[in-house]
Structure 1
């Protein structure tokens, strides 16, 4: 119990402020973009609001720890629990999603709460496929084989590089995991995922070590990887100690084409602090930028679009605020790169509208994106990370759990968006607060979705894809009938 007491003491000491962030809409001056990184390149952001957001979360989790609800460490469930009459495993509210299994934080080797999550697929030979969950926690990263979704196998735990932190983020490139954290001095850990092919003795969770470390940043809030180019974008670095290159909290770009030898490339902080981003080889409607590498950055109070094709000549294409902005958190593009959905993490807390708001964007013109509509959930919950696959948006909405939206005709506005499935991983919480589902990963070929619960741990879920398709077809026929 000693680690838990230490965590609780740290969290309570840190929970000293509940101030609402005050937004600064000024442009941040652009700076030297060369790989030499001089002057402002090494400095922290002039103004940014993440510290206030973090204090809100630290306070919430300190209270949760004091109540004995974080972490909960309910017994793991290694069997399928179908969604029947709106419930799975007797307590989880659901619709069109079955729980295949649940693995507690403790069983994954962690003594803290959960946070982000990502996935990796290993294909050692043609026709053979293994699916893995890479699970972020306060004290490190767990690796879990979820190929047999009803009986996952924990393969090991990689401790944090420095100290505990509520924030950890992971992405994958060339069979390597790249891990960052808000922990002081953490930098970026690199772990060779092929090592997971060597299975540990049953019932053990070996402590793993990183294969490489990148130390040109200290704390980093998120990591973005473009697997098509082999570049990682570290965002939200703010510690400006000697030797760190924080890029004003913006895009710290790392060449990871040789995964075990990550190299600093360049910086872009022309719009200051970036909370999260998605970087793609663009193939959308704006033909001026076809085959360019474009980053869609969520910069606290704007959607900011940046052309990073030329690493020594990065160009900001647009910087767009929107109505009732509180904290532009994260978002994802539709697969045709014509639209995006953005989540604002604090609007449910600080505006009169308490239902979860998903902001729909038309990004067909990269130089002039438009926020044209907003989908409001039936639930009152804070929204967090979301991802889009095919015509479905997978939203991890804290206390409301995983919500799956049909976005087939989202270009026609929010009235054409419909929730088609959900699974609430937080039966103990039903408030506009920072508890429940942190994130999900919906990109496995199997169709399974993994979700990380802050208080409980890893959920392996199976959406009823057949039922969801029927709902999509019914909606399509209804729209067709109305149009005629």
Structure 2
């Protein structure tokens, strides 16, 4: 394994991969973007009986099945169409994948994986009990139970016959957005009710409410994931922007206690979180994939990150989902624009974030000339930070009027920060052809920096 990773690292140095921004303690193995004109959403993973590893990539019109056993050369081995939808969720059980989309008439798709790597096949579309669509699902593999958002709450579905699901009952809960189960407990994210509920599902046919707690300051209860021992629950609040990811002690379900919280930047937007061992893997939209050490629940530490979307977006762009459960150490992340990212993460080899090696840091502030220039439809702006600080990158037209702010946040010391401007203003409207200026301002820990450069946009 060590020899292979050394080769991978050398290959990435030689290739000069374009997404090198913000890579900390994560090794990027490859980026797979099979449908760039369509767009993506969630991802999941599967290990076949022969040990080969596969990724499921949600596409806006179906599900792509990708062989990642050679992570440098991912290969699509199947595609299962669906109705068109922004939202897609995928989970696996036995040798089946289960797919839902949030669009009426799609049902619960059951995909047979037994013929991998040759092919996959859609063997059933479950519509029992009026199952027409769902936003999210989760599978309790130990008990062969699938929980699905919808039907006025949560559908409880038996997978005893994995190819032929059977609905057992429905849990009545308000405004359900997502579900997660472990042990005898089910955790329900209740969206616009601004609450999370905890249920006893030791007998899934007669679920019993154990407790409910509210998000502080009316944050949208988006998703939740429990630690392996079930003692702590991490939650995300997607709306409004700036809501932190929170870690709760839920050992007493009637008295959930907030232990600590985290957010990448003050105005960013967390999406989905997954937990494996002592690490939480956070899909953080425009802030990419963040890995958090939660071994001390009262002190969440960010230990790794990678920005899958180096451009500037609406806060709903970027990293949608993650999958950290391969035994090989591979981690998947799905980006709405750029598709599937395959990483390697080794928690035993984390370097300090507060004191990065001096040889990796630039010796001075530097703002590079944008490239290409002139440009159409987009251009890249790169800069170096010899020390951490508050960073602002603005675009101005020839009259001096500010057109757009591309960066306004604290950033750590590092080289080749890369920002993409797509020639739109703050409202997403395309700007006119002409001369523009970009200005970088940094208020560092010991020094300040300001520089302006000229560029030309040609429509």
Match of 2:26 in 1: 97
Q: After the TM superposition, which residues 392-411 of structure 1 pair with which residues of structure 2 at under 5 Å, given as runs?
A: 392-410=279-297
SS in 1 for 2:89: strand
Q: Does 1:323 align with 2:238?
A: no
> What are the equivalent positions in structure 2 for 1:132-171 lying under 5 Å apart?
132-160=54-82, 163-171=83-91
Deviation at 1:111, TM superposition (A): 5.2
TM-score by length of 1: 0.67
* In 1, Cα distance between equivalents of 2:176 and 2:290: 25
Question: Is the contact made by 1:403 and 1:419 (CA closer than 8 Å) also made in structure 2?
Answer: yes
SS at match of 2:116: helix
Q: Deviations over 1:51-89 (max 9, x none)?
A: xxxxxxxxxxxxxxxxxxxxxxxxxxxx768787xx954
What secondary structure, in the 3-state scheme, does the structure 1 residue paired with 2:139 have?
strand
1:440·1:452 contact (CA, 8 Å) conserved in 2?
Answer: yes
Contact residue 324 and residue 347 of structure 1 kept, 8 A: no
**Aligned residue in 1 for 2:122:** 210
CA distance in 2, matches of 1:195, 1:189: 17
- Corresponding residue SS for 2:168: strand
Q: Quick one: higher RCO (CA 8 Å, sep 6+), 1 or 2? A: 1
Among 175, 180, 183, which residue is 1:273 paired with?
Answer: 175
Shift of 1:319: 1.3
Residue by residue over 1:279-299, the C-alpha shift from the partner in whole angstroms, topping out at 9 and shown as x without a partner, is 111xxxxxxxxxxx2101111
User: Within the alignment, does 1:230 sit opposite 2:144 as a pair?
Assistant: yes
Deviation (angstroms), 1:90: 5.3
Aligned length in residues:
342
* Bigger-Rg structure (1/2): 2
Alignment-derived partner of residue 261 in structure 2:
374
* Residue aligning to 1:344: 237
Rounded to whole Å, the distance in 2 between the matches of 1:81 and 1:181 is 40
Q: Is residue 198 of structure 1 aligned with residue 118 of structure 2?
A: yes
- Secondary structure at 2:52's aligned position in 1? strand
Instruction: Specify every segment of 5 or more residues in structure 2 that has no aligned partner in the other structure, as ranges.
Output: 1-7, 356-459
Q: Does the CA contact (< 8 Å) of 1:297 and 1:303 recur in 2?
A: yes
Which structure features the higher share of helix residues?
1
Q: Judging changes above 3 Å, is the alpha-carbon distance between structure 1 residues 156 and 310 closer, same or farther for their aligned structure 2 residues?
A: same
Matched, 1:435 2:347: no
Structure 2 CA distance for partners of 1:433 and 1:266, relative to 1, 3 Å:
same
Offset of residue 334 of structure 1: 1.3
1:454 Cα offset (Å)? 0.4
The residue correspondences of 1:216-255 to structure 2 (distance < 5 A) are 216=128, 217-235=131-149, 237=150, 246=151, 248=152, 250-255=153-158
Question: What TM-score comes out, normalization by structure 2 length?
Answer: 0.70
**1:471, CA displacement in angstroms?**
4.6
Does 1:299 find its partner at 2:190?
yes
